[in-house]
Homo-oligomer: A and B are copies of this chain.
């Protein structure tokens, strides 16, 4: 009998909408292993719940929580530093917002590669979005191409790990539609940077998410304190 079990893939799952849809896409060709990162973000408790809810939804048994406590020590971002306030969204700005966590995605991917090398996973999925997002440098497609090359050179000769960013060029509306089409549990996700009870509706992350749902003409089932019209 041929072993037709799908190969393992590590998916970096924050608990937000993008990583949820990324997991739904990874599931088509891989057995899922979920990695979550606590980097001292203000809404970590709520994000961790979303992570576990999504993992339960997909019956994921391989789960690893990484405690990246050093990001709180380093600071420099409104997400991790209590002295920096989380700004209201400005979707037209071309500046990198103060929610940028310095070089976060390289740290996340590096830990995923370490785990993948040990459990023999063949791919790492990360839900980076570039065009329709905040313009963080570690979300650029070229960054992931350079990252792939670095992985090929820095792991064992027999290790082959593909870095996959399946939604990097999608708009938020396309992500909402794709998630809905794949029955991804968007109602279990959490995106707000600021609040853990009801989503604030006003931070960058809420604004991009809400605009995506509004453009896709699909209702966002999570609760918001305010729900501005961004479309």
Q: Which residues of A contact B (CB under 8 A)?
A: 64, 66-67, 69-71, 73-76, 96, 100-107, 110-111, 113-115, 117-118, 137-138, 140, 142-143, 146-147, 149-157
Chain B residues in 8 Å Cβ range of A154: 103, 105-106, 137-138, 140, 143, 146-147
Chain B hits for A102, CB < 8 A: 113-115, 117-118, 155
Residue of B nearest to A118 (CB): B76
Given the interface pairs A76-B118, A117-B102, A138-B154, the reply to whether A67 lies near B64 with Cβ below 8 Å is no
Report chain B residues within 8 Å CB of A107: 107, 110-111, 114
By a CB distance below 8 angstroms, the chain B residues around A103 are 110, 113-114, 117, 151, 154-155
Residue in B closest to A37 when the chains form the complex, CB atoms? B70
Closest to A112 in B: B103
Chain B hits for A117, CB < 8 A: 76, 102-103
Contact sample, A vs B, 13 pairs, CB 8 Å cutoff: A67-B70, A70-B115, A74-B115, A101-B114, A102-B114, A103-B114, A104-B114, A106-B114, A106-B151, A106-B154, A140-B153, A143-B150, A146-B149
List the 8 closest A-B pairs by CB distance, nearest first: A76-B118, A146-B150, A102-B117, A138-B154, A143-B154, A106-B110, A143-B153, A107-B110
Residue from A64, A105, A138, A153 with most neighbouring chain B CB atoms (10 Å): A153
